[in-house]
Amino acid sequence: MNSSPDAKPESEIAQKPKYQYFLDRNKIEVESPSLTGAEVRAHLSPDKAGYAIFLEAQGNEPDKLVNDGDTFSLEKKPIRFYSVPPANFGAQ
């Protein structure tokens, strides 16, 4: 046991920083500073399994379609994703 006045409790030392992102306005916390599109997709509810996922862009940039192999860093600030149902234009 360390009795130094600057020592942190073991519970603080063992805790890793949590990173966060948003998917459809739901905050999700993860241990890793990066994630893939497949990891984002894994947090979709079962009723949205076939939905497309988009990364919400900043400013006037267009939102980006997320593929399972895409990688995203969570180190700077939380990023936001949203899901979109498949389009069936012209289907009868």
Q: What is the pLDDT of residue 57?
A: 92
18 residue type, one letter: K
pLDDT by 10-residue block (mean), the chain, 92 residues: 54 69 94 95 93 93 96 91 84 56
May I ask the CATH architecture of the domain 16-84?
Answer: Beta Barrel (2.40)
Q: What is the pLDDT of residue 29?
A: 93
Cα separation, 11 vs 53, whole angstroms: 36
Q: What is the pLDDT of residue 76?
A: 86
Q: What is the pLDDT of residue 5?
A: 56
CA 91 to chain CA centroid, nearest Å: 33
Domain extents for the chain?
16-84
Q: What is the pLDDT of residue 11?
A: 52
